[in-house]
């Protein structure tokens, strides 16, 4: 027994998936395809996808905002678990990735629920606010370029309704966020500072999950 979270080595990580992972066939196919991609490590861990889908179903998500789509695994996990009339806005800038995403969303029968906006996510978030979509999202996931995380979070605080959840991926940065070194890229320093601010932010209630590369959940108060 331990009061600390158990570190997952390869074998225990496999066991976690063995006893816990339930994916639809299309999700499994997408994950297996993405594993062959040269940027495979960008995808969230399967247990994170499962958790986000579980959360979306539990809380009855109807509006989902995703910042960082890649091949669409996280989008699919949530889109499949949303309410029947649920819709998602998915932000990315790389059509070579999102072409793959669209193919799998179509195969899963959820493509018509997902509006993909292909431009810098900050422009999409500004556009959503200009369109009057403040306070309209139930759940958001921030999983794109790290230097913009703080700006994405501020925009999500306006776009997500009170009581809604903002999930922030990669808050550990493989451990580098803990003690950035001078030679680390600006994104590492930014995430370090952002993490330290977030835990004291009176606008949200926080929970950091040691899942994947670390995922913070912030409920908007
Ligand atoms: C870590 S991946 C997202 C992984 C995805 N959530 C998943 O589970 O597979 C980051 C994505 O952010 C996109 N991205 C990077 N900079 C961006 C920007 N400024 N605006 C929008 N998308 C961006 C990249 O093209 C990439 O697809």
160 DSSP β-pair partners? 137
Question: What does the block give as tokens for 14?
Answer: 């496999």
Dihedral sign, Cα of residue 26, residue 28, residue 33, residue 39: positive
> Between helices 186-198 and 149-159, what is the axis angle to 10°?
40
Write phi, then psi, for 87 (nearest 5 degrees). Answer: -135, 155
pLDDT tens digits for 195-209? Answer: 999 999 999 999 999
pLDDT class of 164 with cuts at 50, 70, 90: very high
CB 86 within 8 A of CB 64: yes
Position 55 scores a pLDDT of 98
- Establish whether residue 69 lines the binding site of ligand 1, counting it when its CB lies within 6 angstroms of any ligand atom: yes
* Binding site membership of 80 for ligand 1 (Cβ less than 6 Å): no
**108 band by pLDDT with thresholds 50, 70 and 90:** very high
Across 61-65, average pLDDT:
98
Give the mean model confidence (pLDDT) for residues 32-48. Answer: 97
Q: Give the pLDDT score at 86.
A: 98
Pocket test for ligand 1, best of 31, 90, 142, 144 (most atoms within 8 A of CB): 144
- What 3-state DSSP class applies to 164? strand
Bridge partners, 152 (sequence order): none
Nearest CA to ligand 1 atom 11: 68
Largest CA distance in the chain: 52
Model pLDDT for residues 117-161, shown as the tens digit of each residue: 999 999 999 999 999 999 999 999 999 999 999 999 999 999 999
pLDDT at 11: 97
Mind listing the domains of the chain with CATH numbers?
10-220 (3.40.50.150)
Structure tokens given for 122:
């900050």
Confidence of residue 18 (pLDDT cuts 50, 70, 90): very high
Using the CB atoms, write b or e for 47-59: b if 16+ within 10 Å.
bbbbbbbebbeee
Reported as half-sphere exposure (CB side, CA atoms, 13 A), residue 96 has a value of 3
Torsions phi, psi for 140 (to 5 deg): -130, 150
Q: Which residue of 68, 79, 126 sits with most ligand 1 atoms within 8 Å of its CB, as the best mutation to test the pocket?
A: 68
Closest-lying ligand 1 atom to the alpha carbon of residue 98: 27
Average pLDDT estimate for 174-203: 96
186-194: average pLDDT: 96
Residue pair 53/79 in contact by the 8 Å Cβ criterion: no
**Hey, whose CA ends up nearest to atom 26 of ligand 1?**
70
Of residues 140, 87, 94, the one with CA closest to residue 110: 87
Q: What is the pLDDT of residue 59?
A: 97
Read off the pLDDT band of 1 (50, 70, 90).
confident
Best of 45, 71, 114, 145 for a ligand 1 pocket test (most atoms within 8 Å of beta carbon): 145
CA angle at 98 for the pair 107 and 92, rounded to the nearest 5°: 135
Whether the predicted pLDDT of 97 surpasses 90: yes
Q: How far is the CA of 65 from the centre of ligand 1 (A)?
A: 13
User: What pLDDT digit, counting tens, does each position of 145-157 carry?
Assistant: 999 999 999 999 9
Helices (H) and strands (E) in the chain, counts: 8, 7
pLDDT at position 2 is 83
Mean pLDDT of 59-77: 98
């Amino acid at each position: 027994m331990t009061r600390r979270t158990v570190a997952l080595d390869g074998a225990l990580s496999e066991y976690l998936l063995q006893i816990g992972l339930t994916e639809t066939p299309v999700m499994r196919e997408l994950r297996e395809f993405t594993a062959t991609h040269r940027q495979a490590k960008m995808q969230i861990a399967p247990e994170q996808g499962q958790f986000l889908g579980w959360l979306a179903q539990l809380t009855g998500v109807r509006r989902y905002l995703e910042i960082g789509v890649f091949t669409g695994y996280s989008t699919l996990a949530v889109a499949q678990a949303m309410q029947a009339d649920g819709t998602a806005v998915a932000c990315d800038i790389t059509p070579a990735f999102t072409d793959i995403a669209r193919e799998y969303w179509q195969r899963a029968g959820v493509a018509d629920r997902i509006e993909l906006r292909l431009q810098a996510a900050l422009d999409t978030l500004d556009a959503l606010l200009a369109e009057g979509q403040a306070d309209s999202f139930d759940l958001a996931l921030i999983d794109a370029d790290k230097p913009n995380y703080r700006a994405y979070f501020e925009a999500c605080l306006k776009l997500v309704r009170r009581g809604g959840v903002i999930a922030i991926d990669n808050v550990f940065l493989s451990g580098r966020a803990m003690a950035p070194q001078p030679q680390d890229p600006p994104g590492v320093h930014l995430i370090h500072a952002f993490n330290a601010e977030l835990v004291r932010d009176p606008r949200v209630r926080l929970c950091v999950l040691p899942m994947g590369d670390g995922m913070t959940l912030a409920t908007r108060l």
